[in-house]
Amino acid sequence: MRQIFAIFVAFGCVLSSQCFAASEFADNPIVYFLVTDRFKNGNPDNDGSYGRKRDGLNEIGTFHGGDLAGVTERLKSGWFSALGVNSIWITAPYEQIHGWVVGGNQEFKHYSYHGYYATDFTVLDRNMGTPDELREMIDTAHTQGIRVVFDVVMNHPGYLDIQSALDFRIPVLWRGADKAGLRDYHEFIDYNADKKKWAQWWGGAWVRAGLPGYAPEGSDDYTKQLAYLPDFRTESTEKVDLPPFLKAKRDTQAKTLPNATVRDYLVTWLTNWVRDYGVDGFRCDTVKHVEPAAWKRLKSDAVKALAEWKSKNPTKKIDDQPFWMVGEYWGHGVEKSALYANGFDAMINFDFQDRAANLRDLDGVYRDYAAKLAGDPGYNVLSYISSHDTKLFPRGRLIDGGTALLLAPGGVQIFYGDETSRPPGPFTNSDPQQATRSDMNWNAINDSVLAHWTKLTQFRARHPAVARGRHAKLSSSPYVFSRVAADGSDRIVAAIGVNGDQELSVGDVFANGVSLRDAYTGREVTVSGGKVKVLGEGVVLLEARP
């Protein structure tokens, strides 16, 4: 496997001056999304932080040990650069609830391994690592021209779990709560405790929670509680102080801000990661449930923060491109919504996963996306075939799925393990999404799938025309199409379903007599009469020789 990857690295960066060109990132983001806890354990010493434990059963919702040091280890091995990605999206690394809550239908202990149950937005979760390990990870990525994107949440913090209530001395537990199990967990929390006791948590000015002293959830998207999680009052103009538990927390970096609202605090906390470490972008969770003005403010402050970091760290930056932000708005497709005017450079494309399963309609999908994205540099989408929030693409069809995704117009998101045929993990019928977050299959990589994805991703990284070029269908059987950059600076012809000796049309994309290279097989061909003769192995990727 390492030998294969070394060959791909050499191919990718020798064959084109466009290899990983930083200026093309916003137009051609190739984002590798990993659940940090499930990716690679680089520092076993941080396992079990805050007293977290494995359950000794299926380990559906427990911390598995993956951390920032593990991501750095894979960066140094060349995994990401060989694959051709130009950005890594990691799950939120800041401090999560310390213990667990009841998962599924009282079926498993659900810890915040995924980063969506935040407790302190200003410090790293100890399971993820140390500030030095975060800095090393980001600096290592930057030396390879790879951006780092944080998952961020402004809609909600985590639940008040029993362990956090014990650790922060929030007096709403009955005696013996530390012995609570799945069946009697909530019996040890006094949900009717005096409101002064509950106020020692976030407090009613910060969140809606339906608890004593807290406002109940609202009825619209901005004020409702998702999965009963506390809802941040980001729309409120009320000035707030730090929540009591953070005031008493010894290791927090949170400080009282003068005349600040909930939104002010959250934006400050999140953009400080950019200012201090050089984080390049945010993937924003639950965009639908936070008012657009909050996202716009987050983006403008993050742009300033990254510019400040780059001015202080000129030798560590990749380039001078601005901060990048992509949003997760459930159900959003390729339409250009008002969200693009409120801080977002791209939106996650929920349209593609199911449409990619039908290769017979692939040209219709490509034609639709290319037409909508053409000539609009401020508008992009991030398509995927697998997700931690939906489902995994069928494991037996990852060759076809990878082809469909990596030749799609717009940006693309690779979910960790799609390139290696990572099998699903254990789950319950009440929470099937847990299966999408299994441990990375480092010891059982499918080399055929990996080789296929690597060839396509490297090709895509060299050719911005794949992402933003004019699309034209050249043939139906086999399916052949071209993409040409608007200014003609980059052009490709690709074919899907080619097996054996065949003659393919290249239209007027390449002139007669021009020598081309099939980036999939490495073979060279010459255009004659607007056609080329190829010996195909499923996919053909034609590019001009350097």
CA 215 to CA 218: how far, in whole Å? 9
| Catalytic annotation present for 328 | yes
CA 460 to CA 50: how far, in whole Å? 43
| Catalytic annotation present for 419 | no
Buried b (16+ CB within 10 A) or exposed e, 214-239: beebeeeebbebbeebbbbbbeeeee
Question: Please, which residues have CB within 8 angstroms of residue 447's CB and are 6 or more apart in sequence?
Answer: 1, 4
- Backbone φ and ψ for 282, nearest 5 degrees, come out as -120, 140
CA 371 to CA 473: how far, in whole Å? 13
Question: Please, which residues have CB within 8 angstroms of residue 488's CB and are 6 or more apart in sequence?
Answer: none
From 120, 217, 280, 285, active-site residue: 285
Helices assigned H by DSSP within 55-101: 68-77, 79-83
From 328, 419, 439, 490, active-site residue: 328
CA 165 to CA 100: how far, in whole Å? 11
Say if residue 250 is exposed, middle or buried (CB neighbours under 10 Å; 0-12, 13-18, 19+).
Answer: exposed
Long-range contact set of residues 4-7: C-beta below 8 Å, sequence gap at least 24: 4/447, 4/450, 4/451, 4/454, 5/78, 5/79, 5/82, 5/454, 6/78, 6/82
CA 106 to CA 119: how far, in whole Å? 23
Whether the CB-CB separation of 243 and 168 falls below 8 Å is answered with no
**What are 438's two structure tokens?**
């299994």
Which residues are designated catalytic?
A: 285, 328
